[in-house]
A and B are shown apart, each in its own frame.
Chain A
Amino acid sequence: MAQLWEHPLTVPVIVMIVILAGFPLVAGYMVLVERKVLADMQVRLGPMRVGPHGLLQPIADALKLLLKEDVVPAHADKLLFWIAPIVSVFTALTAFAVLPFSHNVYITDVNVGVLVVSAMGAVGILGIILGGWSSNSHYPLLGALRSSAQLVSYEVALALALLCGVMSAGSLSMVEIVNVQRERGIWFVFDNYGLMVVPFVIYFIAAAAETNRAPFDLPEAESEIVAGFHTEYSGFRWALFMLAEYAHIFVVASVAVTLFWGGWLRPFPNLPWSAALDYLAPLVVIAGAGTGSLWLVRGLREPGHRMLLGVVGVALIGLGATFLVPAVNAAVIGLFWFLLKVGGIVYVLIWFRGTFPRLRYDQLMKAGWRWLIPLGLASVLLNALVGVWRQG
């Protein structure tokens, strides 16, 4: 048993299984959170029927999609129509292989991790193009063309913004990038006297465009081209496109956290007093959420719902309390910080969707090519200059 534990592949395989088995569930709950947050911004309640406050909605949705009829249009290219969602999903999930969730939780640490993530994002575009083209229908084709032009336009800006983070770290390995931030005691978004905020903003805008999120959701603009590239998809294959989209959102948020927001590090990682945050933050966030759940129980009438939410609340408080054990804390605090930051970034992306109206297509291309790319090049040069100057 001890030998098995020592084997270099043990941790990667465990993480891999947890990700591949757990991510569909996580994506389902990301959708629920998104619906709830948007509902809150629009002064609605959002899903309320299935489970207490809609807590079981993702499971009901998944079952419904699984039992749905799978329609293939008569003149579609059958083989490509089948392959497209698979390509989308497996490229999005492969990018997880290089994400450093914590100092001890990652699948592998290749020395070109940043490039692996970009490459997988680029191949993912192929799934969208194949899906749109193989449907042999007008709207999907238009959606696929728009989508591919948009994705390649913003990919350049994305690459330039990532370049700035790589320059600060001097490495392409995701784990190494976080380690450099720990050694220098600064999150890279605050590096170079605050100049690194510019590439982060560029990255964030480009990432919203890369994941087809509002205000850049033109590939699936309902009012113009129905549902874009996945108009002809139904049932579980449609769900796979959604799964790929949410996996992609998680990946871009993780990359943002790793390159700009200190990965698994706590705020002020080099100051000893901030170690208190390692104990305080999980207690406030997780146990606070648990207390909130218990508070919500009072308003529920159905006994089953009351019990479920009560159990969830107590479990969350218990989970928050386990962070007070020093040994447990040392093992999982990195994961906590990483997921907390990813959650924050995902929240802001949802906030975008609740706030900004959709761009027109020419505005989108103009913003990408005439603003983001020149600005990205300028910030690369400026950050390089500051870096060289600080080196002396």
Chain B
Amino acid sequence: MPASFPDLYFPVLLQVVIAFAVATGLVAMAFLVGKRVRGKVKEMPYECGIPPTGSARERFSVKFYLVAMVFILFDIEAIFLYPWAVVYRELKLFAFVEMFVFIALILAGFFYIWKKGVLNWSREEPEVVTERRYPDAV
């Protein structure tokens, strides 16, 4: 196999181009082959049979933004560990201790967001039902 940088990556680029062409070609083919009958009701957004209410472009829970932010931090952390993982055998204990400190710092942050409740998806833990509301019902 070739060893130079462009030679190694050219097939990846080729794969991207051909895969894109195949996907586009399949969609285009379905577009040309399938028949189409337009209709006002048919083109309504799906809402289980009732007329849709309002736009779907609504605001959504801030939790999703928090997850995205925390993800970026942790993914960068994981990617930062990769170069170390490749060479940690040569660097031995020295690099291990340094990485241990790095991970410990990350874990401190992790502990902080945990206690702040970022990782609580539901507002609180589900209540434990202690008494039956209808004692007669079985």
Contacts and interface: CB of A to CB of B under 8 A. Distances in A.
Contacts of B42: 71
Contacts of A20: 18-19, 22
Q: For chain B, what secondary structure do more than half of its interface residues adopt (helix, strand, loop), or is it mixed? A: helix
B96 A163 contact: no
A270 to B, nearest CB: 20
Given A96-B15, A97-B12, A82 B99 contact: no
Contacts of A116: 12
Given A167-B88, A370-B114, A73 B121 contact: no
Interface stretch (A31-39, A229-237, A336-344): A229-237
B103 to A, nearest CB: 6
Given A20-B22, A149-B64, A153-B71, A232 B34 contact: no
A109 B100 contact: no
Contacts of B34: 66-70, 235-236
A375 interface: no
Nearest to B54: A138
A126 B40 CA distance: 30
Contacts, number: 214
Contacts of B74: 156, 373
Contact of A8 (B1, B57, B60): B1
Contacts of A57: none
Contacts of B19: 20, 89-90, 93-94
B92 A71 contact: no
Interface residues of A, number: 80
B11 to A, nearest CB: 4
B82 interface: yes
Contacts of B106: 377
B78 A163 contact: yes
Contacts of B82: 114-115, 163, 166, 172
A98 interface: yes
A236 B48 CA distance: 22
B1 A159 contact: no
A4 to B, nearest CB: 16
Contacts of A73: 43-46
Contact of B15 (A66, A94, A362, A377): A94
A123 B75 CA distance: 14
B16 to A, nearest CB: 5
Interface of A: 8-9, 12-13, 16, 20, 65-75, 82, 85-86, 89-90, 93-94, 96-98, 107-111, 114-116, 135-141, 145, 148-149, 152-153, 155-156, 159-160, 163, 166-167, 170-172, 226, 231-232, 235-237, 240, 361-362, 365-366, 369-370, 373-374, 377, 380-381, 384-385, 387-388, 391
- Across the A-B interface, give the 4 residue pairs with the lowest CB-CB distance, nearest first: A236-B30, A137-B45, A362-B121, A159-B78
12 contacts: A70-B31, A73-B45, A90-B23, A136-B55, A139-B46, A166-B86, A226-B48, A235-B34, A236-B27, A373-B74, A384-B99, A388-B88
Given A86-B20, A86-B27, A160-B78, 17 more contacts: A69-B35, A70-B31, A85-B27, A94-B16, A97-B12, A97-B15, A114-B82, A149-B67, A153-B71, A159-B75, A163-B78, A166-B86, A231-B46, A235-B34, A366-B119, A377-B103, A381-B99
